[in-house]
Amino acid sequence: MALCSTTQHSPSLLLEIQIKRREIRVLNQSLGLKSLTTRQRCLAGNASALPFLRKKSPHVPTPNLEDQGTVFVRPLAID
């Protein structure tokens, strides 16, 4: 009697196992989404759930960092 058996599976069987695992994962995610609030569903990918999020946010300009110097900071020694 062997302690460890190495079983060779056909490529089609391995593909079927992978597909089943994906199906289970998707079903688990779907069940999780049903119990979420509207805001949580929106953040999870259902942006049409909250219409006010479809409006574009105002543009915030980024600062120009070209002519600024670099400051190196080190922690203070505690005596």
Per-residue pLDDT of the chain (79 residues; tens, 9 = 90+): 444 445 676 778 888 888 888 887 777 666 666 666 666 666 666 555 555 555 565 666 667 667 777 777 787 788 7
Nearest CA to 52 out of 38, 35, 34 is that of: 38
SS3 48: helix
Predicted TM-score (pTM) of this structure: 0.27
Tokens of 60: 């915030």
SS3 21: helix
| C-beta of residue 53 within 8 angstroms of C-beta of residue 42 | yes
| C-beta of residue 49 within 8 angstroms of C-beta of residue 42 | yes
Instruction: Give the Cα separation of 26 and 43 in Å (integer).
Output: 17
